[in-house]
Structure 1
């Protein structure tokens, strides 16, 4: 091979493999922070301590000078200072708490002008955390009336096959159906083989985005919905970014002063309408149906199970919209942190929040559920999530991944999927 041909050959190889050799990055310094107690849980009045270690190239950094700040999560720190870790490890004393809750410790380390940080969070009798939100006397009557309003609206479903997404096992459709205002759009996955199948409704996290098919290799119907009344199959479109930064920016605050017009009214009812749609499918077995989601979706899974007694099982990861009024009582409130800033603390908005707070839906959940989250979550603070979890009266399991933040481990997702599929009888 001539030098010119060799050069061309190597160039073609480089182009062909470019998509498989993209660079990855990671932090040079890794800070590990965790409660000194193995389970991360303390009692009220007990001294709280955190273990801290600083690593570089997998080795402890001797004489690492750190700064730390600790206190109730999402609140101003009550303990702060500096500490030199002689051998790269040490302990931080974070005081005591007289009431159930969480203490978070943030550690920072600077090297060559670059700052690195990480957090650890300890629970203080978290199973004793009680909600701050109020349950309106007409809470159930309010939502019963809205469900009757929804029932009077024809479903008018549309199903459009997506051939490129379909598999040898399942057909995939872009679907829509009428809601109390506008339509709900989603991605439906349905086995090709004639028969009756269980179903899973997957409700979305916050934001505006397209959605993909799920469980296309299994004998189950899955429906993943969006909540904003826009198609969810525009995979290469900038529409979602434009909406997120424009017309739907801060949608979670829209009309908060009016319980009849608050944005989540159509969202909560849209989840019920998605169950209506599943029940309209000839291939649905008519009984076995579950709901699952994370963050906003974790909230919607609880809401859907509470409002719609056709749901048999639920999985909720780090549920948002829980104990929204926490900030008004000097502690962390749930996402979207509506009352963290004084300008939102208007009586009408607070009163509306009671009708949409996940805690108040959790009180009426009467089916088995798996719940999972971590202590380091700063989007959906664990104080708010425990406020909802602790009032659930039905069979429930809590799978903790203590050091997880607002994300989940692959094993955590697998655990939830396996739990749900086994409940629904899917192999």
Structure 2
């Protein structure tokens, strides 16, 4: 009986908490400031839609990594909006952390972010001196491994809209798999490459688009089932477990102690091989190849664009794998935080991850590029993405800023409409 009462008390408490609404509104809609300028945040608290005054607010300004920018500020709620101001002296993210404590309850936490001089953020670590030589050597060694290119038609996906194939390519360790979609009639078409976001890879499903060749690739050595039913998710998860990577994110740190065993090394080489194969496909116009990817697929898009030089234009959203060295300069490192991983293992001076940092591939991107960031993204932080963007030498590049978005920036209608319209204009033109 006591357990039941405790359960219902907790449920009632949750319902009561959900009645509070805390809004934090910066004084600039674009949320971009210059260093040492004051960013002003208006905070309002309501209870079931009515102004709330029986409590207090505590505000702490930090950067994304949690470095405190100034002392905590406390103000008693009065039912009226309250204003708090903060700044940074260097290009960085500023987070307004708000704790609201009702007089008779527990604190409720929330936050929002603004950016200070995002175009001035630089990578936290330098590029390895032998970075270029390392990857040139890897590609030369890849040529010694037979490509064993396989392209198998998928009759279950036969339709009036496309011709579908399962493709795979040999890597130094296993294979990479994906799907190729061709328009219904043979011809010469522009192509778009997409690489899966993080996880087992069941989001790397068959895709098609009118008058485009679409190549969708995964990073894992897992052969997808032809029927692509929901059990493909189970197949991918079981495949990772069989490979020794239980838990969807465990593969990220596999072999990370050495650049030659780093998990992404083999997939990067396999993906490179798949893109080179696509460029030579008889139905692909190699002068009109583009890329679109999100999160892990966004970071790998930057890597591929720097490595292959095959793309006419690329669009990536909230890219991962950027600025692993951010932590060393007091910022949040790019996902998945290899430097912190090394420190936990007692190897703080290990530099192997920087051979896979998208920042260092981005230094070679010369094609037009659009990159979407969400200022409130706590997975792939905007500072890590800006560090990659700012080293891209392309003369045609643009940040697509979504000030209120988190890691869902790619789902915003404004972004999708602008991004795909831009990519289509580049690839449809001869």
TM-score strictly above 0.5: yes
Cα pair 1:318 1:372 within 8 Å, conserved: yes
Q: Which residue pairs with 2:11 in the alignment?
A: none
Gaps of 5+ in 1: 1-26
Aligned to 1:36, which of 5, 24, 27? 27
Determine the structure 2 residue equivalent to 1:90: 82
Query: Distance between the aligned counterparts of 2:58 and 2:47, measured in 1?
Result: 17
Flag structure 2 segments of 5+ consecutive residues without an equivalent.
Answer: 1-17
Query: Superposition pairs for residues 91-110 of structure 1, below 5 Å?
Result: 91-94=83-86, 96-109=87-100
Q: Is the 8 A contact 1:29 1:55 kept in 2?
A: yes
Separation of aligned partners in 2, 1:198 and 1:76 = 47
Change over 3 Å in CA distance of 1:386–1:117 after alignment to 2: same
Partners of 1:318 and 1:385 within 8 A in 2: yes
Q: 1:364 to 1:87 in 2, by over 3 A?
A: same
Change (3 A) 1:415 1:63: same
Counting only pairs closer than 5 Å after superposition, residues 243-258 of structure 1 correspond to structure 2 as: 243=239, 247-248=244-245, 249=247, 250-258=250-258
Structure 1 CA distance for aligned equivalents of residues 35 and 358 of structure 2: 26
Task: Give CA-to-partner distance per residue, 1:356-412, whole Å, 9 cap, x none.
Answer: 111111111111101111111111111111111111111201110111111121332
CA RMSD in angstroms, aligned pairs only: 2.5
C-alpha separation in 2, matches of 1:322 and 1:286: 28
Q: Which residue of 2 aligns with 1:48?
A: 39
Equivalent-residue separation in structure 2 for 1:64 and 1:319 (angstroms): 42
In 2, are the aligned partners of 1:64 and 1:88 still within 8 Å (CA)? no
User: Aligned residue for 1:406?
Assistant: 407
Q: Name the CA distance, whole Å, in 2 between partners of 1:165 and 1:83.
A: 61
Q: Give the superposition deviation at 1:108.
A: 4.1
Structure 1 residues 305 and 31, CA gap change in structure 2 (3 angstroms): same
User: Residues 370-409 of structure 1 correspond to what in structure 2 (within 5 A)?
Assistant: 370-394=370-394, 395-408=396-409, 409=412
TM-score under structure 1 normalisation? 0.85
State the SS of the aligned residue for 1:270.
helix
Task: Measure, in 2, the Cα distance between the counterparts of 1:127 and 1:168.
Answer: 46
Contact 2:190 2:285 in 1 (8 A): yes
Indicate the residue corresponding to 1:71 in structure 2.
62
CA 1:126/1:150 → structure 2, altered by over 3 Å: closer, same or farther? same
- 2:3 corresponds to which residue? none
Q: Distance in 1 between matches of 2:52 and 2:95?
A: 25
Please report how far the alpha carbon of residue 243 of structure 1 lies from its aligned counterpart in structure 2 after TM superposition: 4.9
CA drift at 1:109: 4.2
**Cα deviation code 1:120-145 (max 9, x no counterpart):** 11111121111121112221111111
**1:70-125 deviation line (CA, Å, top 9, x unaligned):** 2111224444354444335322233x322111111233446796875432111111
Q: 1:239 aligns with which of 215, 235, 239?
A: 235
Equivalent position of 1:199 in the other structure: 191
Distance in 2, Cα, partners of 1:60 & 1:178: 62
Q: Which moved more, 1:32-41 or 1:382-391?
A: 32-41
Answering whether residue 420 of structure 2 is matched by residue 417 of structure 1, we say yes
Q: Using the alignment, how far apart are the partners of 1:29 and 1:310 within structure 2?
A: 52
Is the 1:55–1:88 contact (alpha carbons within 8 Å) kept by the matching residues of 2? no
Tell me which residue corresponds to 2:166. Answer: 174
What is the CA distance between 1:352 and its match in structure 2?
A: 1.0
Q: Which residue of 2 aligns with 1:283?
A: 283
- Which residue matches 1:305? 305
